[in-house]
Structure 1
Amino acid sequence: MTDSEVTPVSAVPSVQAVALPDRLSIDLRSPHHIAAAFDRDVRIRFNDKERLDVAEYCVSERWIRVPAGKALDRKGQPLLMKLRGKVEAFYE
């Protein structure tokens, strides 16, 4: 393989990410779950601190849902608490 056969990085098409929606959930059963949004790592900044345990967020209503400890509901899903504050969603 010679140097002339190597494709430059700028010529390789980049993967177009879906714009992050106003509301997104990791729960597959939720109507706010958009699988294409999870092709890249989604990060959430809540009250100027990055949170890694967010299960659902809404930017316009300014809230996130996070698991409440190790508590589970009767179907085995984690119980979620709603926290209110400044929410920013972005791709890593």
Structure 2
Amino acid sequence: MNEPQASTQPPLPDHLSIDPRSPHHVAAVFQHDIGIRFNDQERFDVAEYCISEGWVKVPAGKTLDRKGQPLMIRLKGKVEVFYK
């Protein structure tokens, strides 16, 4: 049952961001439910990732930058991305 659905999903990029202003934002990917596993633990707060460089960006608590966007920190480790 999952086979026909898999063919309509776009390939997951090496570098992806949830921010629509980013050059690494791919809207077609976000039409499907994706999961991100970082260091063998699923994360739900990832804003950006890069598989080849091995990092994810996550919000640093409730801290905001001067433009009102969440302040991000980069965590290095093993990144795996998959469709749910």
TM over 0.5: yes
Count residues with an aligned counterpart: 81
**Poorly superposed stretches of 4+, deviation over 6 Å:** none
Q: CA deviation at 1:42?
A: 1.2
Q: In the alignment, does 2:46 pair up with 1:86? A: no
CA distance in 2 between counterparts of 1:85 and 1:47 reads 6
The 5 Å alignment of 1:70-81 reads: 70-81=62-73
State the secondary structure of the residue aligned to 2:29. helix
Q: Structure 2, unaligned stretches of length 5 or more?
A: none
The 5 Å alignment of 1:22-41 reads: 22-41=14-33
Normalised TM-score (structure 1): 0.84
Q: Structure 1, unaligned stretches of length 5 or more?
A: 1-8
Q: In the alignment, does 2:2 pair up with 1:16? A: no
What is the RMSD computed on CA atoms of the aligned residues?
Answer: 1.4
State the secondary structure of the residue aligned to 1:35. coil
Report which of the two structures shows the higher radius of gyration computed on alpha carbons.
1
Instruction: State percent identity of aligned pairs.
Output: 65
- The amino acid across from 2:39 in the alignment is N
CA distance in 2 between counterparts of 1:78 and 1:42 reads 21
